[in-house]
Amino acid sequence: MRIIAFYSPKGGVGKTAAAVNIAYLASQDNCRTLLWDLDPQGASSFYLAGAETVKGRKLSKLLEGKAPIAKFIHDDVYPGLDFIPAHTSFRNFDIKLEQESGSNVLRDMLAPLSEETSLVILDCPPTLSRLTEQVLEVADRVYVPVVPTWLAVNSWNQLQQFVKDKKLGARKLRPFFSMVDRRKNLHKEIVEQGREVLPNGMGVAVPYASVVERMGEEGLPLERLAPHSPAAEVYRQIWAGIRQDLWKRRPG
């Protein structure tokens, strides 16, 4: 079982859209996938189900070891794609993690899934917290969307420093440009700098596009909503890069 995360210390950067689209693409590529929405705001549910939002469960019983993680999983949201939706109680995740110093609670929760799940995707809240540290510890790779502005690039640099200070494995971080509007000179200039700005970057740029915003309205990943759109093609490129990062070949 491989574990990846989509994370950014900034909100509104296309993180959840990327997590949902990659989860769907992985599930269609012979890769049994679980998407876990760790963000209490629960945006992944809207992208997967639109108005028919999948309801999450309170976290307390899972944290207390009174219920297995399987009880929280919605099986086969799409064929091969399972989902743990968020719940407002997830805001208490950090409190529990602080009480369990010395162990990676997140790793322990995910361990029972290893026999049936090929890929776990964590959609993370935009905070620097104990949960963030555990995600960075347990994930094989962390994919970081960066909007091409200097403020966002500065946040990316701060994240790199945080990871180095905590000795969490800076090479795990795999940034990519997101919400790129090529009508803006600044966006074009920063994207053209590529790896100078984003070391270890994926070399892709997700465009700012209304079709991505429609995902929440329609409750569909792009591969089903608009598979011929430029954004859908970029997500396919990102999945190909992730597959190469994790397996060096097709999973399965």
- Retrieve residue 238's tokens: 């990102």
Rounded CA separation 107/95 (Å): 17
Q: Which residues, including other chains, have CB under 8 Å from residue 247's CB and lie 6 or more apart?
A: 2
Nearest in space to 84 (alpha carbons), one of 126, 42, 136, 142: 42
Rounded CA separation 83/99 (Å): 27
Rounded CA separation 103/159 (Å): 23
Q: 77-86 pLDDT, tens per residue?
A: 899 999 998 8
* Axis-axis angle for helices 150-165, 185-193 (nearest 10): 40
pLDDT at position 51 is: 45
Task: Judge contact between 53 and 86, C-beta under 8 A.
Answer: no
Q: 185-222 pLDDT, tens per residue?
A: 999 999 999 889 999 999 999 999 999 989 988 889 99
pLDDT at position 55 is: 58
Query: Is the pTM for the entire model greater than 0.75?
Result: yes
Rounded CA separation 134/132 (Å): 5
Rounded CA separation 40/23 (Å): 19
3-state secondary structure labels for all residues of the chain: CEEEEECCCCCCCCHHHHHHHHHHHHHCCCCCEEEEECCCCCHHHHHHHCCCCCCCCCCHHHHCCCCCHHHHCEEEEECCEEEECCCHHHHHHHHHHHHCCCCCHHHHHHHHHCCCCCEEEEECCCCCCHHHHHHHHHCCEEEEEECCCHHHHHHHHHHHHHHHHCCCCHHHEEEEEEEECCCCHHHHHHHHHHHHCCCCCCCCEEECCHHHHHHHHHCCCHHHHCCCCHHHHHHHHHHHHHHHHHCCCCCC
Nearest in space to 13 (alpha carbons), one of 221, 244, 192, 205: 205
Rounded CA separation 173/7 (Å): 10
CATH architecture classification, 2-246: 3-Layer(aba) Sandwich (3.40)
pLDDT at position 70 is: 85
Tens digits of pLDDT across the chain (252 residues): 999 999 999 889 999 999 999 999 999 999 999 999 988 787 888 888 654 555 556 676 777 677 788 888 888 889 999 999 887 766 667 767 766 666 788 888 899 998 899 999 999 999 888 888 889 999 999 999 999 999 999 999 999 999 999 888 888 999 999 999 999 999 999 999 988 999 999 999 999 999 998 998 888 999 999 999 999 999 999 999 999 999 875 555
Q: Which amino acid is at 128?
A: L
Q: Which residues, including other chains, have CB under 8 Å from residue 161's CB and lie 6 or more apart?
A: none
pLDDT at position 33 is: 97
* Axis-axis angle for helices 210-218, 15-27 (nearest 10): 70
